Amino acid sequence: MVWLGVDLGNARVGLALSDPELTFAHPAGNIHVAGDYFFAIDEVLDVIEDEQVTHIVVGLPLQMDGTEGKSAKKARRWAANLEKRLLAQAEDEEEEHQIPQVSLVDERLTTVSAHRQLFEANRASNRHRPVVDQQSAVVILQTALDRAKGQ
């Protein structure tokens, strides 16, 4: 069992994967999307298939007061689109296999947390940009893993 964390961004979509025991999240790279993260769905589907992902956790960018703005609604649409593609892909294939579950996790302050973790790892702040999206995906995924284990 492997879970995938996804941090949707306008320049990059950050990815993180869990270990098979669902204990730790680790960075799994970025997908460059040039302004529209809906372009990342095909590559995310490839990762899901290659890594045999059973659960996808997508960051939901709520506003600080907990309400949903434009970004959160777009993230919900992206997750729904991913679910539709997963269903269509399963219908196209002859063999029976489990369709990965897609869930959304509140991602407020994950970028702040990711920057802090990178700073604590002695990574120069001018070198955060290329890795902060995947580190945010790690934070999103680790949050979901900890919740699933009741921590």
Whether pLDDT at 89 is above 70: yes
Query: Percent of the chain beyond pLDDT 90?
Result: 58
- Mean pLDDT taken over the chain: 87
Whether pLDDT at 126 is above 70: no
- Domains contained in the chain, CATH given: 2-148 (3.30.420.140)
Q: Which residues pair with 57 in a beta bridge?
A: 5, 103
In the chain, what are the helix, strand and coil shares in percent, each to the nearest 5? 50, 25, 30
Lowest mean pLDDT among 20-29, 34-43, 54-63, 114-123: 114-123
